[in-house]
Chain A
Amino acid sequence: MKFAKIALTASALALTSWTAHAIDISGAGATFPYPIYAKWADAYKKETGNSLNYQSIGSGGGIKQIKAKTVTFGASDAPLTGKDLEESGLVQFPMVMGSVTPVVNLEGIKPGEMVLDGPTLANIYLGQIKSWDDAAIAKLNPSLKLPKQAIVPVRRSDGSGTTYNFAYYLAEVSPEWKAKVGVNTALQWPVGIGAKGNEGVAGNVAQTKGSIGYVEYAYAKENKMTFTKLINKAGKAVAPGSDTVQAAAASADWNSQPGFGVILANQPGDKSWPMAAATWILMYKKPEKMAESAEALKFFAWAYTKGDAMADSLDYVPMPDNVVKDIMKMWSAEIKDASGKPLYSPTN
């Protein structure tokens, strides 16, 4: 039944001759959401018979691939600017959220015990705070016994959306970071050692005494790493997790940026995690492969409505319902076939 309906819709809307085969959606991009996209794709295939082939080649690669039109959708941890979206004829919407989490390797300190704030984190990565017993860290952690040990900052050596979100937050809270280092997926780091991928940073932090790094929360949790709390914009110490990311998402003004391109760093609110991060999907307003694109939108709609529990189980944070409503409205208004009919309508 379901398959017949999909095929009918696809052929009717896209005016392409449909075959008796299931539709393959192809996507490429960010590595950060790969585990949840894979899990969703698996469940979706069981339900509908349509499969999603997602290649986690990195955000930069995802943007390149969608611009080269080799995939149905691209995925990126860093949003495109409004100008870029307009020039390339793409639309963009956030799919799922996570958080960037500082992790440390210090003897005798347990997960969540240490508290850091943005300026301190920036100064550590600027090379100005060199030892764990520095006054700035001691002031935030009066109850902890801090060793006189050199800090080894660990960061990404490859371009990364995680780095983009991390640097964006540091630039928000530290004028010096903004001026000296700036914000990008790859940076000229003043100090520290580079490691490839979230798993590389996690591995290096685990192996190096006195180190600090930043990883996606899921990596910190899975590897049982010593994550730290952070002081947020409201001045409260918060721990990373889905509740604090949701709080940050709730305080964000999603419609303030084109393509919902809001960086969730440093959001107001007592419970907001200051390094929350969303990941985006990129699609063409007038896609060439209509059937695949229509099916991709159906998949995303399915993930928004039925995928929350699966996201939770992997420590991702689902998008708030009001944002999802706006996203679907945008689909109907913006993504159209050659004859100007919307590819997605909520009824089918």
Chain B
Amino acid sequence: MQELNNKIAELLTNNLVSIFISYKKGLNGKIKPAFFTKPNEVYENYFGDEAQQNLAVYVHKPEVKKYSKVGILANIFALKALLQLYAENQIKDNYLTIVTVNQDNKVIVFADFNEIESYIAQHQIEKNTNKQKEINELLSLSREKRWEFWVEQLSSCIKCYACRAICPMCYCSKCTVELNQPQWISVPAHSLGNFEWHIMRMMHLACRCINCQECSRVCPMNIPLHLLTTKINSDMEEEFGQIAGMKTTLDFALNTFKVDDYENFIR
């Protein structure tokens, strides 16, 4: 931890970054994001297993964007998100200084995104078998039962858009749901509007979602959105062999045609 704090303080002191995004402990002991602009604030910095939140989401918030150079402490999900954002042309060169702490508690400062690409390739996230079990259980149900399940789950959505606010991939300045000329997606939190919203969001995340499952964690109504993201991610992997957040170049299943696409969904 001390090594990390020293590194952050050093970056701030030497003006290599004007703001550093990291974690600190909140009043009730919960871990929350921290935004350090001065070296003497860094003592608050905290990094540990509880620091789960994907900080990559703050990179495209206007409050952060006004700083000329930004540093960020990234866990593996944040690294994947940042790599995907870079591939989607959302991170300018020489704008971010990305820091991570590896399993041996060693602080790593990445020189460029190619280094992140190879780091991610070496540090694969293991598949959560519990979640896969949940999905398999759901898939074993009949189509009607599954529909009922989602009607029940999604009817509780209050359209607070917390899922969108926490998602590092939801960076559009104007979301489709806010368009009203014409209004493709109905705004009220009724079943139809909720279905339209979540299905649309999942389609927009297909092959872009890095599966950090923050949307599920922040949902105040406890809707299991991670089931949708995990399923769509595994579908993308199985059908197109594509996993988001692995490469510096944009390789997007929905807008590329490859002769060797499996196409086993066409029957």
Q: Is chain B a partner of chain A in the same complex?
A: no
